[in-house]
């Protein structure tokens, strides 16, 4: 379907180009010229009537009627009308800087429309992390043979086409690496991220990414064949994350659906240990709607039980996005259960209890807090969570075979396609409806195989 739309668009563009440049007949040229006259006269009579003397306004109105009549009467002489138009145009009083005023006014209108379009219809968004990989990519670091780093193609074409920035820098050494201040102006720093550093007070290195990406490059280098060779240089490139448009209007037309790749605000969403989420916006795949119960089993498959139903349904039958993840191939790894060490983090609630801890026997305890009733197994040094019932209707249960999550009213469950490396609803519960901004529409840059519709 995407190819069909592109073909239709291509046909329209080619047709317009042909129509705009073919040799025009005399009658078509005549009609176009008259319509151009009419647009000018309409503008003058509508916009400046209160500024002109009545005699001039009357001449403009008469000439406008004459042009309208000439459009219907093919015997009318366009040359005489053009002469009269020039004569009237010379009588129009011109203000100093009027052209500049019109240009500024037009610029302001265009900017206002662009901001309104961005706020209401399509908003650019850059994928910050790899939580949706391989469906969508965040910023990635790759090592490369040094023979490719100096080539014209890699240094000038690939940055434009693939968003790659190549580096050939000294290997950072713990205790001997000093990060330098970025003395570029603020705007340049925002547009072109760089990390400057020296090793053993040597030459200045210019790495095309943040410090965390430099650390990632070093980790890759330390495990690669280049480290074994004794080389003191890291060669490779940083590839920018996918830049896409978010359809901000779609949820005004319909309700959120399972399988949507949705962007949402993180305000008022906290992890279970009380920490705020890093970043103002997240992008994940919407997996659960209000009333749904989701199950992740030990086979890394995802299941759905809708409200009022008894049986679970495998979610690869519901949307292709879930089917891709559950295929466990082509870079997908299925859905990961919440690790036991993460369930230890819930022990923070022990310090926020509002009632004494209840011993339920069989190494089980019950803890009541302001917003939840929590059940822990205490057969280890640190109690770990096995069940939680929140006051807002959200529930979690961890068994030997599966993790279960039940949504309450106005709660949406979000999961990353890269379940091994995604900070999602498994770790901070649900997203309220008001936080959902819109869906991923299309990747507009870089021009990789993911270019085009965001969820192919």
Its sign, for the CA torsion 374, 378, 383, 385, is negative
212 and 333, same domain (yes or no) = no
More confident site: 2 or 166: 166
Strand partners, 359: 365
295 and 180, same domain (yes or no) = no
- Chain segment 58-77, per-residue pLDDT in tens: 888 888 888 888 888 888 88
Residue 308 belongs to a domain: yes
Domain around 158: 140-239
Distance of CA 311 to the CA centre of its chain: 35
Question: Residue 22: is its pLDDT beyond 70?
Answer: no
In degrees, rounded to 5, the angle at the alpha carbon of residue 67 between the alpha carbons of residues 64 and 73 is 145
Residue 150 belongs to a domain: yes
CB 152 within 8 A of CB 130: no
Report which of 336, 320, 327 is spatially closest to residue 261, judged by C-alpha positions.
Answer: 320
340 and 196, same domain (yes or no) = no
Q: Which of 239, 263, 280 lies at the terminal end of a domain, its last residue?
A: 239
Arithmetic mean of pLDDT, 98-112: 74
Q: Which of 216, 239, 262 lies at the terminal end of a domain, its last residue?
A: 239
Q: What is the DSSP string of 321-364?
A: HHHHHHHT-TT----PPPPHHHHHGGGGGGGG-SSPPEEEETTE
Number of domains in the chain: 3
Residue 17 belongs to a domain: no
254 and 381, same domain (yes or no) = yes
167 and 218, same domain (yes or no) = yes
pLDDT band at 98; cut points 50, 70, 90: low
313 and 433, same domain (yes or no) = yes
- What pLDDT shows up at residue 251? 95
- What pLDDT shows up at residue 120? 76
Question: Residue 116: is its pLDDT beyond 80?
Answer: no
Laid out side by side, the sheet with 164-170 consists of: 140-143, 233-239, 164-170
153 and 207, same domain (yes or no) = yes
| Candidate from 44-53, 183-192, 397-406 with smallest mean pLDDT | 44-53
Residue 6 belongs to a domain: no
pLDDT band at 2; cut points 50, 70, 90: very low
Arithmetic mean of pLDDT, 27-39: 84
Q: Alpha-carbon Rg of the chain, whole angstroms?
A: 32
188 and 252, same domain (yes or no) = no
Q: Which of 239, 273, 290 lies at the terminal end of a domain, its last residue?
A: 239
Residue 106 belongs to a domain: no
d(CA 385, CA 370): 17
pLDDT band at 305; cut points 50, 70, 90: very high
- Chain segment 313-358, per-residue pLDDT in tens: 999 999 999 999 999 999 999 999 999 888 877 766 666 777 888 9
251 and 206, same domain (yes or no) = no
50 and 70, same domain (yes or no) = yes
Which range among 184-188, 369-373, 429-433 has the greatest average pLDDT?
429-433
Residue 206 belongs to a domain: yes
pLDDT band at 257; cut points 50, 70, 90: very high
Its sign, for the CA torsion 63, 67, 70, 76, is positive
d(CA 109, CA 27): 35
342 and 394, same domain (yes or no) = yes
Residue 282 belongs to a domain: yes
Residue 19 belongs to a domain: no
216 and 275, same domain (yes or no) = no
CATH number at residue 295: 2.10.109.10
pLDDT band at 398; cut points 50, 70, 90: very high
- Which residues neighbour 326 within 8 Å (Cβ) at sequence distance 6 or greater? 300, 301, 302, 314, 315, 316, 332, 334, 335
- Chain segment 358-393, per-residue pLDDT in tens: 999 988 999 898 888 999 988 777 788 899 999 999
pLDDT band at 147; cut points 50, 70, 90: low
Question: Residue 142: is its pLDDT beyond 70?
Answer: yes
């Amino acid at each position: 379907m995407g190819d069909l739309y592109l073909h239709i668009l291509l046909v329209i563009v080619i047709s317009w180009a042909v129509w705009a440049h073919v040799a025009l007949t005399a009658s078509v040229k005549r009609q176009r010229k008259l319509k151009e006259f009419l647009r000018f006269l309409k503008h003058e009579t509508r916009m400046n009537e209160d500024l002109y003397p009545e005699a001039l306004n009357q001449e403009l109105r008469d000439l406008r009627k004459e042009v309208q009549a000439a459009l219907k009467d093919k015997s009318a002489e366009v040359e005489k009308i053009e002469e009269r138009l020039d004569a009237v145009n010379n009588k129009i009083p011109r203000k100093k800087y009027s052209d500049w005023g019109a240009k500024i006014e037009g610029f302001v209108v265009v900017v206002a429309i662009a901001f309104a379009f961005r706020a209401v219809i399509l908003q650019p968004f850059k994928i910050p992390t790899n939580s949706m990989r391989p469906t969508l990519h965040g910023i990635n670091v790759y090592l490369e043979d040094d023979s490719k780093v100096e080539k014209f193609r890699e240094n000038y074409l690939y940055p434009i086409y693939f968003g790659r920035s190549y580096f050939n820098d000294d290997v950072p050494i713990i205790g001997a690496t000093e990060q330098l201040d970025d003395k570029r102006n603020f705007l340049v720093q925002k547009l072109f991220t760089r990390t400057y550093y020296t090793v053993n007070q040597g030459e200045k290195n210019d790495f095309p990414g943040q410090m965390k990406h430099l650390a990632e490059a070093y980790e890759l280098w330390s495990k690669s064949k280049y480290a074994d060779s004794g080389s003191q240089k890291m060669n490779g490139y940083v590839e920018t994350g996918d830049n896409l448009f978010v359809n901000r209007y779609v949820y005004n037309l319909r309700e959120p659906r399972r399988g949507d790749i949705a962007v949402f605000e993180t305000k008022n969403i906290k992890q279970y240990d009380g920490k705020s989420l890093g970043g103002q916006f997240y992008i994940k795949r919407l997996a659960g709607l209000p009333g749904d119960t989701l199950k992740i089993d030990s086979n890394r498959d995802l299941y759905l039980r809708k409200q009022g139903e008894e049986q679970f349904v495998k979610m690869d039958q519901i949307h292709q996005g879930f089917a891709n993840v559950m295929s466990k191939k082509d870079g997908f790894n299925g859905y990961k259960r919440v690790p036991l060490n993460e369930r230890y983090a819930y022990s923070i609630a022990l310090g926020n209890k509002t009632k004494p801890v209840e011993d339920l026997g069989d190494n089980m305890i019950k803890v009541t807090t302001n917003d939840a009733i929590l059940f822990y197994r205490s057969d280890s040094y640190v109690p770990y969570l096995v069940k939680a019932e929140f006051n807002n209707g959200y529930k979690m249960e961890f068994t030997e075979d599966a993790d279960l999550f039940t949504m309450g009213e106005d709660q949406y469950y979000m999961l990353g396609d890269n379940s091994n490396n995604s900070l999602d609803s498994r770790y901070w519960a649900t997203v309220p409806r008001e936080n959902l901004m819109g869906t991923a529409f299309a990747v507009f840059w870089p021009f990789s195989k993911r270019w085009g519709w965001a969820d192919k």
